[in-house]
């Protein structure tokens, strides 16, 4: 499998010198934010990771290779190109075989991070069980990946467009621990709280690192969700965002939007209905997760 991997000079040097590395997804660059805000955010997030003692490894598919770490030019190309494929587990073989450019989702980034022996991955929010999944069976591949891939995902919980209760039930069934960092409840992406408790609370990075090390020492395969609430000053009012999401969901239903098209549509609609406030919140929570991811990678060693 290593024949499909290529490392940036920075990441290669980090691995040779046993420096901590943090994986970053690329879907947020190509599908999650408009240009040039997406590239600016990606560069700033990488800087935050470096400033906190780790090395960033933004992951994407280019020229038939899984790129572990992108150059500045590659970041720019990814963020300013049309037709970049959204790559999840099922898409990786085809996109690599046909040498297409692909931006990795949470699930695909976890797979690539594990291939590159990177244990910590910082992102915005994980996918989950979509509302109405009892009839549509629309469940993100992220959850299945968390059940079998040994990578911890630092996130602001699950995206609030999802069914958070069913998402936690699915993770529990798969034996995936959900650890709240300085929180007792699952954050809901744009907001700091929800009605759903996490499995465990950790008030310091050392506790999270020790828990992950013990899990993997015991050969308990699979990842973990490290739920890190959006900073309070950037959180959105819960009632406001709930109302907006309900409106967006109704519009998606009316337009017969399903499957992998649902999330980008809903997130775009939320940005529109919040007049851009949700995009700013998204950026701030990604930055916050990058900082925690770097600290956790350093602690994990």
Q: Which of 15, 86, 159, 269 is catalytic?
A: 159
Residue 292's CB: how many other CB atoms inside 10 A?
21
Whether residue 65 lies in the annotated active site: no
Residue 284 annotated in active site: no
| Tokens matching residue 215 | 């899990």
Burial 176-203 (b: 16+ CB within 10 A, else e): bbbbbbebebbbbbbbbebebebbeebe
Tokens of 300: 């994990």
Question: Residue 72, Cβ neighbours under 10 Å: how many?
Answer: 11
Question: What's the Cα-to-Cα distance from 144 to each of 94, 150, 156, rounded to whole Å?
Answer: 20, 12, 19
From 10, 25, 46, 114, the catalytic residue? 25
Do the Cβ atoms of 86 and 103 come closer than 8 Å? yes
| Sequence-distant (≥ 6) Cβ neighbours of residue 65 within 8 angstroms | 4, 5, 6, 96
- φ, ψ of residue 201 to 5 degrees: the values are -110, 140
Q: Is 107 helix (H, G, I), strand (E, B) or coil?
A: helix
- DSSP-derived letter for residue 130 is B
Question: Which spans in 98-204 are helix H?
Answer: 106-115, 133-136, 141-148, 164-173
Structure token digits, residue 245 = 């999401």
- Which helix (H) or strand (E) is 102 found in, with range? strand 102-104
Residue positions annotated with a catalytic role: 25, 159
């Amino acid at each position: 499998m290593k024949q499909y991997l290529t490392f940036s000079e920075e990441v290669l040097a980090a691995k040779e010198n046993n420096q901590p590395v943090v994986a970053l997804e690329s879907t947020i660059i190509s599908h999650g934010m408009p240009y040039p805000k997406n590239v600016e955010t990606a560069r700033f997030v990488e800087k935050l990771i470096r400033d906190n003692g780790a090395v960033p490894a933004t992951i994407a598919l280019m020229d038939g290779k899984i790129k572990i770490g992108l150059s500045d030019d590659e970041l720019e190309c990814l963020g300013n190109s049309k037709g970049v494929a959204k790559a999840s587990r099922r898409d990786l073989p085809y996109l690599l075989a046909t040498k297409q450019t692909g931006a990795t989702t949470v699930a695909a980034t976890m797979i690539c991070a594990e291939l590159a022996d990177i244990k910590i991955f910082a992102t915005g929010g994980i996918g989950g069980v979509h509302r109405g999944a009892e009839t549509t069976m629309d469940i993100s591949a992220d959850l299945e990946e968390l059940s079998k891939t040994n990578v911890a995902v630092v996130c602001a919980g699950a995206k609030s467009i999802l069914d958070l209760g069913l998402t936690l039930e699915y993770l529990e069934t798969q034996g995936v621990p959900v650890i709240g960092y300085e929180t007792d409840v699952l954050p809901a992406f744009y907001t700091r709280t929800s009605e759903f408790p996490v499995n465990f609370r950790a008030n310091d990075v050392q506790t999270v690192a020790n828990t992950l090390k013990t899990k993997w020492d015991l050969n308990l395969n699979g990842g973990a969700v490290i739920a890190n609430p959006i900073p309070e000053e950037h959180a959105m009012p819960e009632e406001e965002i709930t109302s907006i999401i309900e409106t967006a969901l109704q519009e998606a239903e009316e337009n017969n939007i399903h499957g992998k098209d649902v999330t980008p549509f809903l997130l775009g609609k939320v940005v529109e209905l919040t007049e851009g406030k949700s995009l700013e919140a998204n950026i701030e929570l990604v930055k916050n997760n990058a900082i925690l991811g770097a600290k956790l990678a350093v602690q994990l060693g």
